[in-house]
Amino acid sequence: MQIRRERRVPGPLNRYLGAVGVIETAGLTKQYPRVTALDQLDVSVGDGVTGLVGANGAGKSTLIKILLGLIPASSGTAHVLGHDVAAEGARIRALVGYMPEHDCLPADVSASDLVVHMGQMSGLPYPAARERASDVLRHVGLAEERYRPMGGYSTGMKQRAKLAQALVHDPRLVLLDEPTNGLDPSSRDDMLALVRRIGTEFGIAVLVTSHLLGELERISDHVVVLDSGRLLRSSATTDFLHTTGNLLIEVQGRTDADTVLGQALVDAGLRAWPVDGHMIEVEVRDETTRDVVRDVTADLGLGLVRMQERHHRIEDVFREGGAGSVQPV
């Protein structure tokens, strides 16, 4: 018995070469009687994994429902995979998979039966739906439990089943609304890794929402930040994470090692300040800074545990923007 691995050419490009934009909105506005859920939103989403970040009520779910053609926009336009959401909702829904935020699984049906059925609802013939269902359930990691009624599933298993039904018809884009909601840390990591795989290995464009910023910076190629229905920022994840030009230092050896080193570094003429409890951030002036840190640490007889470049985090976008000073881009 031998196992042979034949992987498709990875990456989304081999399937949608030349695709202009997976999602394009222009001046998209959704006005409810009392609140403005989306305000003049201009967003462009390409292939790969795009994170849609925002606090609860920022308009993430409203945007997804408009993109699916389930609710009409008040004004503005939106195109998904080149189709107009207002006129071609059914066409879009055939090409898109949707994983809702809330519970949506009938308790007395097995994941296997539901995913097959949902595949058929997307137009797959029964034998194909069965084969696809078995494939995607394997990909999301539901093993024997797929044959049990879903009422007895844990939250992690339910999220996997919800994801499987969004993938069964081989969509070109999946809209995942808070896929990590309610998961424990290890299931959360599994789910994020899976989302990343969908966007890269599977070649399916992903729009994934979360109110947890740290999650998305790990798996997204591009991040869109919404705040009260307005676009706060839209850029490649690498832009968010560009280096700050500072070093992060961690030492050990004495209980007050960080304070002692911090003081010594300031005395040596560097700018240094404590961060995250036991670490020190040091501004890099020139190429000798690292040597100075090393020598000062050695002179104090401390052990240098960590010396790394400090990156921006997506949180910083919010910190810089501040709650009151949010400006649409």
Partner 1 sequence: MSSPSERPGTAAPSAVIHDIGYRPYAGPRLGEGAVARSFFVTGLRNCFGLGRSGRSKILPMGLLGLMLLPALILVGVLVQARTLLGLDEHIVAYSTYPITTQLLISVFVASQAPALISRDLRFRTITLYLARPGRRTTYVLVRLASLTAATALLIAAPLLLLYVGGLLADLPLGRETERFLAALVGAVLLAVCLSCLAAVVSALTIRRGLAVAAVIVVLLVSYTVVTTIQGISTESGNETVGEVAGLFSPYTLINGLQVFLFDSPAATPTPPTSDAIGVAYLVATVVTVLGAVGAMLARFRRVSA
Pick the closer one to partner 1 by CB: 165 or 187: 165
> Is the separation of the CB atoms in 325 and 266 below 8 Å?
no
Pick the closer one to partner 1 by CB: 3 or 323: 3
Among 25, 50, 122, 210, binds partner 1 (CB under 8 A): 122
Tell which positions 144-183 bind partner 1, by CB under 8 A: 149, 165, 169-170
CB of 259 to partner 1, least distance (A): 52
Pick the closer one to partner 1 by CB: 5 or 255: 5
Binding flag, residue 311, partner 1 (CB under 8 A): no
Half-sphere exposure of 143 (CA within 13 A, CB side): 0
CB of 227 to partner 1, least distance (A): 24
CA nearest neighbour of 210 among 183, 186, 170, 235: 183
Instruction: State whether residue 31 is helix, strand or coil.
Output: strand
CB of 145 to partner 1, least distance (A): 14
Q: How far is CA 323 from CA 60, 61, 109, 317, in A?
A: 18, 21, 45, 11
CB of 134 to partner 1, least distance (A): 8
Pick the closer one to partner 1 by CB: 5 or 324: 5
Pick the closer one to partner 1 by CB: 76 or 171: 171
Would you give the end-to-end CA distance of the chain in angstroms?
58
d(CA 226, CA 155) in angstroms, rounded, equals: 27
Pick the closer one to partner 1 by CB: 180 or 200: 200
Vertex 192: Cα angle to 189 and 196 (nearest 5): 135
Binding flag, residue 123, partner 1 (CB under 8 A): yes
Q: How far is CA 24 from CA 4, 38, 74, 169, in A?
A: 40, 15, 16, 23
CB of 200 to partner 1, least distance (A): 10
Tokens of 224: 């869109």
Which amino acid, residue 138? Answer: R
| Piece in contact with partner 1 (CB under 8 A), picked from 66-74, 213-221, 266-274, 308-316 | 66-74
The whole-angstrom distance between residue 219's C-alpha and the CA centroid of its chain comes to: 5
> Is the separation of the CB atoms in 133 and 126 below 8 Å?
no
DSSP β-ladder status, 83-84 and 75-80 = antiparallel
Query: What does the per-residue mask of binding to partner 1 show for 26-65, with x meaning CB under 8 A?
Result: ---------------------------------------x
Please count the residues of this chain forming the interface with partner 1, following the rule CB under 8 A: 51
Phi and psi (nearest 5°) for 198?
A: -60, -45
Which amino acid, residue 195? Answer: V
Pick the closer one to partner 1 by CB: 90 or 323: 90
Query: What does the per-residue mask of binding to partner 1 show for 81-120, with x meaning CB under 8 A?
Result: ---------xx-xx-x-x-x-xxxxxxxx---x---xx-x
CB of 165 to partner 1, least distance (A): 6
> SS3 letters for 234-279?
EEEHHHHCCEEEEEEEEEECCCCHHHHHHHHHHHCCCCEEEECCCE
Among 68, 248, 268, 300, binds partner 1 (CB under 8 A): 68
| Piece in contact with partner 1 (CB under 8 A), picked from 26-34, 42-50, 195-203, 299-307 | 195-203
Interface with partner 1 (CB under 8 A): 1-8, 15, 65, 68, 70-71, 90-91, 93-94, 96, 98, 100, 102-109, 113, 117-118, 120-126, 128, 131-132, 135, 139, 149, 165, 169-170, 197, 201-203
